[in-house]
Amino acid sequence: MNRMHLLDTAPIPGGGELRLFQCGDIYTIKIAGGGDLMNSRVRESEKALARLPCERIARRPSARVLVGGLGMGFTLAEALSVLQQDAEVVVAELVPAVVEWNHHVLGEKAGHPLRDPRTRVVVDDVAQVLKANRGGFDAILLDVDNGPEGLTLTANDRLYSDLGLVSAIEALKAGGILAVWSAAPAPFFTRRLHQSGLRVEEHIVRARPNGKGERHMIWLAMN
């Protein structure tokens, strides 16, 4: 039986630490003192987070998409596979080491999406990238944490607050789509999306192929 090895640790700006483990060919990112953030075997809902919105905007000329955060690159890779050659995908990642891990040890898992010339990495809080890009994106794909009930950073709660939603909506182009991943339904967040005046869809997606694994939630909100 394979044993789990600690490969690296990285401070989370704002507090806490991420830990990267390997067990055979499976990689896991954990939060020190918390649970698993994600592992490389379970990726179907991360891919759906990109596929569901990007299929709807892929035909727009020079489509611009924001992915926050990078994780193991599954959402980014799926967005690139759906979008056309003139698209740009900006990836906002808070933890610099996560970007390094994706350039090296993790890169192969998602097919090295950081090497795609359409990818632009910004090492920063996605909240800052939203503020700096008013009217900038056809789609915004948010998977920075466990969902509206966060895990990595308490400060991430503000992304899902009323003010956070205003900031995300302002960063969308007309007819843009905000997509948000969550480990579980969160009725308060569904209500909040409706109250912000967006047209809202809820999609339950399975974590593994062929309708297997846990049920995760993806909200699509259209302006």
Ligand X SMILES: C[S@@+](CC[C@H](N)C(=O)[O-])C[C@H]1O[C@@H](n2cnc3c(N)ncnc32)[C@H](O)[C@@H]1O
Contact residues toward ligand X (CB under 6 A) are: 37-38, 46, 68-75, 92-95, 98, 125-127, 143-145, 152-153, 156
Q: Which is nearer to ligand X, 126 or 172 (CB)?
A: 126
* Residue 82 and residue 51 in contact, taking contact as beta carbons nearer than 8 Å: yes
Smallest distance from ligand X to CB 213, Å: 15
The least CB distance from residue 60 to ligand X, in Å, is 22
Which of 95/197 has CB closer to ligand X? 95
Q: Smallest distance, Å, CB 141 to ligand X?
A: 8
Q: How far is the CB of 68 from ligand X (least distance, A)?
A: 5
Q: How far is CA 54 from CA 29, 51, 80, in A?
A: 26, 5, 9
Closest CB to ligand X among residues 15, 24 = 15
Q: Which two tokens stand for residue 10?
A: 């990285």
Maximum Cα interatomic distance, the chain, rounded to a whole number of Å: 53
Please give the Cα distance from 188 to 185 (Å, whole number): 9
Nearer to ligand X, 73 or 176 (CB): 73
Q: Which is nearer to ligand X, 28 or 221 (CB)?
A: 28
Task: Decide: residue 209, CB within 10 A, 0-12 exposed, 13-18 middle, 19+ buried.
Answer: exposed
Q: Is the dihedral of CA 44, 108, 147, 117 positive or negative?
A: negative
Contact by Cβ (8 Å): 162, 168: no
**Least gap, CB of 163 to ligand X (angstroms):** 14
